[in-house]
């Protein structure tokens, strides 16, 4: 009799567990769905174990919004401070927070060319992405030693690179994977001043050069664009793009910001 009861427990145990845990892709129970509507930050579904820790939030995104925070000291004194960014999903929920690290000399004397380490943390404060940019040249007439950033996730593990390609007319960049192999291309417009309109950098495939996405600098209004260097960006990519490459795209967005839109009064 005891053996039969034990057999029933062993049988019911897995059945009970299966009922309690919904299958991947199934809708949330009503009470969880209600909570998700009022949540301040976005919490992604349980990711596969093969994803780099911290990049689970990017798996289901095809649009990423990057909003630079306004620094009051920078507006009043006209000096460069460490940039801070909120990285959000299409519903405006914060996914990551990014803080620039470098020296005062780099920020105020090297400005758009400055080297930096961008530390990107999740909503728990855990650093999940690191973007490193060395001090390099930025001239359409100087084809050597052009801009490059390295993206790591988790910190210490390289997942890709953004490399500037020489072109006398157009801003061109290559997205590379962790093996330093070309994956995608980014091609900007002839003019990047963004006067009274958005500026789009097209993301293209290597094979047929078809456009699969874009990085856009959104027009933020006359006062904001002239008197501060704060910016709002949008990244649009295929939802099934490798999350590592999505992380590299975020690094590319930071690079484009400093190269083309660092337009505070002290730099005019």
Question: If you average pLDDT over residues 107-121, what whole number do you get?
Answer: 74
Question: If you average pLDDT over residues 232-260, what whole number do you get?
Answer: 94
3-state secondary structure 75-140: HHHCCCCCCEEEEECCCCCEEEEEEEECCHHHHHHHHHHCCEEEEEECCCCCEEEEEEECCCCCCC
Stronger pLDDT, 140 or 172, i.e. the higher one? 172
With cut-offs at 50, 70 and 90, classify the pLDDT of residue 56.
very high
Q: Is 237 helix (H, G, I), strand (E, B) or coil?
A: coil
Closest CA to 257 of 233, 237, 225: 233
Stronger pLDDT, 216 or 6, i.e. the higher one? 216
Cα 223–225–230 angle (5° rounding)? 110
What is the pTM (predicted TM-score) of this model?
Answer: 0.73
In DSSP terms, which residues pair with 116 in a beta bridge?
133
Question: DSSP secondary-structure letter at 49?
Answer: T
Q: What is the pLDDT of residues 157-187, one digit of tens each?
A: 999 999 999 888 889 999 999 999 999 999 9
DSSP line for 134-178: ------TT--SS--EEEEESSTTSEEEEEEEE--SSS-EEEEEET
The domain limits of the chain are: 56-262
């Amino acid at each position: 009799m005891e053996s039969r009861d034990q057999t029933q427990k062993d049988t019911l145990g897995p059945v009970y567990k299966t009922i309690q845990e919904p299958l991947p892709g199934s809708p949330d129970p009503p009470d969880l769905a209600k909570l998700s509507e009022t949540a301040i930050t976005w919490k992604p579904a349980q990711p596969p174990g093969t994803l780099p820790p911290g990049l689970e939030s990017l798996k289901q995104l095809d649009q990423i919004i990057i909003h630079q925070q306004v620094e009051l000291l920078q507006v009043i004194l006209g000096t460069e401070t460490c940039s801070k960014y909120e990285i959000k999903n299409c519903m405006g929920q914060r996914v990551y927070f990014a803080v620039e690290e470098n020296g005062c000399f780099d920020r105020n004397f090297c400005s758009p060319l400055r080297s930096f380490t961008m530390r990107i943390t999740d909503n728990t404060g855990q650093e999940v992405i690191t973007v490193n940019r060395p001090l390099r040249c930025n001239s359409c007439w100087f084809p050597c030693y052009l801009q490059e950033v390295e993206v790591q996730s988790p910190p210490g593990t390289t997942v890709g690179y953004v490399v500037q390609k020489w072109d006398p007319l157009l801003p061109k960049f290559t997205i590379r994977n962790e093996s330093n192999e070309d994956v995608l291309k980014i091609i900007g417009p002839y003019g990047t001043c963004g006067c009274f309109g958005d500026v789009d950098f097209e993301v293209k495939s290597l094979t047929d050069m078809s456009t699969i996405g874009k990085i856009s600098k959104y027009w933020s209004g006359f006062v904001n664009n002239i008197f501060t260097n704060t910016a709002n960006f949008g990244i649009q990519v295929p939802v099934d793009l490798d999350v590592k490459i999505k992380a590299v795209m975020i690094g590319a967005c930071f690079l484009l910001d400093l190269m083309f839109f660092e337009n505070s009064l002290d730099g005019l």
